[in-house]
Amino acid sequence: MKQIPVYHVDAFTSTPFTGNPAGVVPDAGALTEEEMQNIARELNLSETAFLLPPQHPEADLKVRFFTPTSEIGFCGHATVGSAWVLATDYGWLEKAERLVLETNIGLVPVEWQTTDGRLTDVVMTQVTPKVRDAEVSAADVARWVGVQESDLDTRYPIRLGHTGNWHLLVPVKTRAAIDAAQPMLSELEAINRRQEAVTTHLFTLESKGGDYDLYTRDFGPAVGIPEDPVTGSANGALAGYLVLEGVLDNATEHRLTFAQGDAMRRPGRLQISISSSPDGAVIRVGGAAVPTLKGMLTLP
């Protein structure tokens, strides 16, 4: 029998039992892929991050992400949770101003933000965004996500967006319509698998004076997650979509607050900046985290 440390971390929040919970295994170098999948299934969180020695010469650590059913290329909230644990329990906040994580989709730099020496936020720079046609009808999408076709916001196109994973991005007129959505999960699973997408992501630019600029909701049955509370990768892809589709001016720097999780009673907030570079839009996604459980996991 062997034991390894494991954490349960709520990401994109500073309040326990809100935001998106992730598993974090900080010392996974001796684990097999089968053991990682079994641990992710045992923890039964949307994603669990496993930290290993890096293979890339520019990386500080390698991280692999598993849902209860499969490995995925990238996970935003588990990245935030992992970086928070590394900073607070493994001394990285004193070692360096940032670290570089090697993931299956490339290198992801992560920076710390502090106030009076206290960690307040973790900010990751996601890979360069891209979009492609979803090749689906508005009527079908409305039926799959469980809203009326008239609820869709036709000012903006339905697209697949990517900053690490592909996500089906669906514009909706109002938060009320998003909150009332009753998705057909089996249908979404089939279309996302066909599109090689991880989730379907509903969004609205209606804020009505709230503490956010965009409101979202995310469904991922194709990777064993009926609904994910607060998604760093999907909202990063959405931020890229906003400039690539001309919703926002790509020559201007934008700082936005995205809200998600309210419909699941796990509200979270993401701080997202969008800037330009010679290589394309730069998407930086940040937020706080709070560990709620730390212990030892026993393996056979």
Q: Which residues are catalytic?
A: 47
Which residues, other chains included, contact 155 with Cβ-Cβ below 8 Å and sequence gap of 6+? 171
CA distance 23 to 46: 8
* Cα distances (Å, whole numbers) of residue 290 to 38, 121, 250, 283: 24, 10, 33, 23
Which residue in 222, 212, 154 sits closest to 183, CA to CA? 222
- Within a 10 A sphere around the Cβ of 226, how many other Cβ atoms? 12
Element (H, E) at 170: strand 166-171
* Cα distances (Å, whole numbers) of residue 222 to 111, 138, 179, 196, 209: 31, 20, 21, 9, 34
Q: Are 64 and 41 in contact (CB under 8 A)?
A: no
CA distance 145 to 247: 23
CA distance 63 to 236: 19
